[in-house]
């Protein structure tokens, strides 16, 4: 019989996405199905999610009503979208609003985020504990701080189920004032160091790390890094204490959703056997973005959040290395206002050489993966990273910092790797613009030797970036948790 898992998360492709969390939450159920694991995913009923449910004449199936969930009525609505078995938490007072998932349109965090995501955790425990007639689950799988209270609620629920909590990014911890605690409906003793208390307030990530039966994170290297004070973001002590139940499982990507042979956003589709049509995508990018179309050097792309974590400032510092190698650069992303401004300024100062698109565009992202020669991922820390995986799949060679999941998924094309024909990208020491510049120059030198570049591209495109192996690891872990414990 299939193992039945209730997943809970704040984002899920194809409905709502701000980053890699959504890709993973959307892709893992399909990957796990192949291992006899059935995943049902609970997500918040944000305005676009509710709109998607109503589309195409799809009537939500029977919904379960909760009379009062943190100050208003709520329903748990079952839905099937794109092969995903979903439960949508329809609580208009918490999730029906214009703006972002976590912030208003001006970029300020919603002031009731504590309550909004406590509700998500409480609803998850309610469902996991048998709250929906006819639906039984063996394990709860909660993702990131927004779902962090689910393992806490579950711990105090009548029907105890084992829980797995996956850390996607320890930098976002969901810390709220102590005044939130009385509203949570959790036993008084849980507000303690041995519980969800965190520096005098309520810590959602802290709660999960304390109450979950098992903790995983999204790459083996990051699993080791978060045990250290440098990467542990204040939670390394707690993590070291639980080291026996921490695993690192690298993310994959959905290789059907990310397939250059079928990608409808590309001007020219291609595959590993013949990547030459990429040139048409590169030309389309140059025309659309006003870049110099002559081919004196590689086209570099940065796709991601404009945040300190991602090292976009290091990319800007590396412009001389890019320009010196005849290269051009496209930046696609949004985030911190100051970094957005610096990117715009760089584009203004380098017409024809640097183009910047501030915002979110799935189409442009795909065209960049399919047309750029290399993607830059110089993160200061990176739990896993998906952009380098997509780059490998699309033959845009990743130039990455040696950290976290980047170190686990890219093989540096150093001399030995080149000789052995195993390199798939270029690596630089993290947080060091000079070293990033070196890696960019090495990539440009390889690009100028077509046979070398072709070989590297072939190795990159042959990398297994699918969920195949990691889904097997998750399946084993989830099965182990579901076994009756003494």
Touching ligand ADP, residues 332-351 (CB under 6 A): 332-334
**Which one, 218 or 319, has the nearer CB to ligand GLC?**
218
Among 14, 19, 324, 472, binds ligand ADP (CB under 6 A): 19
Among 30, 75, 97, 305, binds ligand ADP (CB under 6 A): 305
Per-residue DSSP letters for 78-136?
EEEETTEEEEEEE-HHHH--SS-SSB-TTSPBPTTHHHHHHHHHHHHHHHHTT-STT--
Q: Of these partners, ligand GLC, ligand ADP, none, which one is at the site of residue 218 (CB under 5 to 8 Å by kind)?
A: ligand GLC
Side-chain-facing half-sphere of 12: CA atoms under 13 Å: 33
**Which one, 42 or 389, has the nearer CB to ligand GLC?**
389
- d(Cα 308, Cα 312) in Å, to the nearest integer? 7
Kindly report the number of other CB atoms within 10 A of residue 49's CB atom.
24
Residues 306, 340: contact at Cβ < 8 Å?
Answer: yes
- d(Cα 26, Cα 259) in Å, to the nearest integer? 16
Q: What is the DSSP letter of 12?
A: B
- Residue 301 near ligand ADP by CB under 6 A: no
In the bound complex, what is the minimum distance in angstroms from residue 439's beta carbon to ligand ADP?
Answer: 18
Touching ligand ADP, residues 361-380 (CB under 6 A): 361-362, 365
Q: Which residues contact 72 (CB under 8 A, 6 or more apart)?
A: 91, 92, 93, 94
- Residue 100 near ligand ADP by CB under 6 A: no
Among 5, 10, 20, 447, binds ligand ADP (CB under 6 A): 20
Query: How many DSSP H helices and E strands does the chain contain?
Result: 20, 18
Q: Of these partners, ligand ADP, ligand GLC, none, which one is at the site of residue 360 (CB under 5 to 8 Å by kind)?
A: ligand ADP
- d(Cα 212, Cα 143) in Å, to the nearest integer? 11
In the bound complex, what is the minimum distance in angstroms from residue 290's beta carbon to ligand GLC?
Answer: 31
- d(Cα 210, Cα 214) in Å, to the nearest integer? 10
Q: Interface mask (CB under 6 A) for ligand ADP, residues 384-423, using x and -?
A: -xxx--x---------------------------------
In the bound complex, what is the minimum distance in angstroms from residue 373's beta carbon to ligand GLC?
Answer: 23
Strand order in the sheet with 197-198: 175-176, 201-203, 197-198
**Which one, 166 or 190, has the nearer CB to ligand ADP?**
166
Q: Which residues bind ligand ADP (CB under 6 A)?
A: 19-21, 23, 303-305, 332-334, 360-362, 365, 385-387, 390
């Amino acid at each position: 019989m299939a193992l039945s898992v209730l997943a809970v998360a704040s984002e899920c492709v194809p409905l709502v996405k701000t980053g890699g969390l959504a890709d993973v939450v959307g892709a893992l159920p399909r990957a796990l199905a192949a291992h006899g694991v059935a995943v049902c995913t609970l997500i918040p009923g944000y305005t676009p999610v509710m709109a998607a449910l109503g589309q195409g004449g799809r009537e939500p199936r029977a919904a379960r009503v909760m009379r009062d969930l943190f100050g208003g009525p709520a329903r748990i609505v079952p839905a099937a979208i794109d092969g995903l078995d979903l439960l949508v938490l329809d609580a208009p007072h918490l999730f029906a609003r214009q703006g972002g998932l976590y912030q208003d349109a001006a970029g300020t965090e919603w002031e009731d985020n504590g309550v909004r995501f406590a509700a998500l955790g409480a609803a998850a425990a309610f469902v996991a504990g048998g709250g929906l007639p006819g639906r039984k689950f063996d394990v709860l799988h909660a993702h990131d701080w927004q779902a962090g209270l689910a393992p806490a609620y579950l711990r105090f629920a009548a029907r105890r189920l084992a829980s797995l909590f996956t850390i996607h990014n320890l930098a976002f911890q969901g810390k709220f004032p102590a005044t939130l605690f009385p509203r949570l409906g959790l036993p008084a003793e849980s507000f303690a160091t041995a519980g969800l208390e965190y520096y005098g307030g309520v810590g959602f990530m802290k709660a999960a790390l304390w109450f979950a039966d098992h903790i995983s994170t999204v790459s083996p290297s990051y699993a080791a890094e978060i045990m250290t004070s440098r990467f542990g973001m204040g939670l390394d002590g707690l993590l070291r204490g639980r080291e026996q139940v921490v695993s690192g499982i690298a993310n994959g990507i959905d290789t059907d959703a990310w397939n250059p042979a079928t990608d409808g956003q590309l001007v020219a589709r291609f595959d590993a056997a013949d990547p030459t049509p990429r040139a048409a995508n590169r030309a389309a990018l140059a025309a659309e973005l006003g870049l110099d179309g002559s081919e004196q050097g590689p086209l570099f792309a940065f796709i991601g959040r404009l945040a300190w974590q991602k090292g976009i400032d290091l990319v800007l510092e590396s412009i001389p290395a890019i320009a010196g190698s005849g290269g051009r650069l496209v930046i696609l992303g949004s985030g911190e206002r100051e970094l957005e401004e610096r990117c715009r300024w760089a584009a203004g100062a380098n017409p024809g050489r640097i183009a910047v698109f501030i915002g979110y565009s799935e189409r442009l992202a795909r065209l960049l993966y399919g047309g750029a020669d290399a993607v830059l991922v110089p993160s200061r820390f990176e739990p896993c990273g998906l952009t380098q995986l997509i780059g490998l799949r699309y033959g845009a060679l990743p130039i990455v910092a040696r950290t976290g999941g980047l170190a686990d998924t890219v093989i540096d094309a150093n001399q030995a790797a080149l000789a052995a024909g195993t390199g798939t990208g270029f690596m630089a020491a993290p947080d060091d613009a000079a070293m990033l510049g070196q890696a960019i120059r090495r990539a440009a030198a390889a690009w100028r030797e077509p046979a070398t570049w072709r070989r590297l591209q072939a190795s990159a495109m042959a990398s297994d970036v699918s969920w195949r192996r990691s889904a097997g690891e998750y399946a084993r872990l989830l099965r182990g948790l579901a076994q009756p414990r003494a």
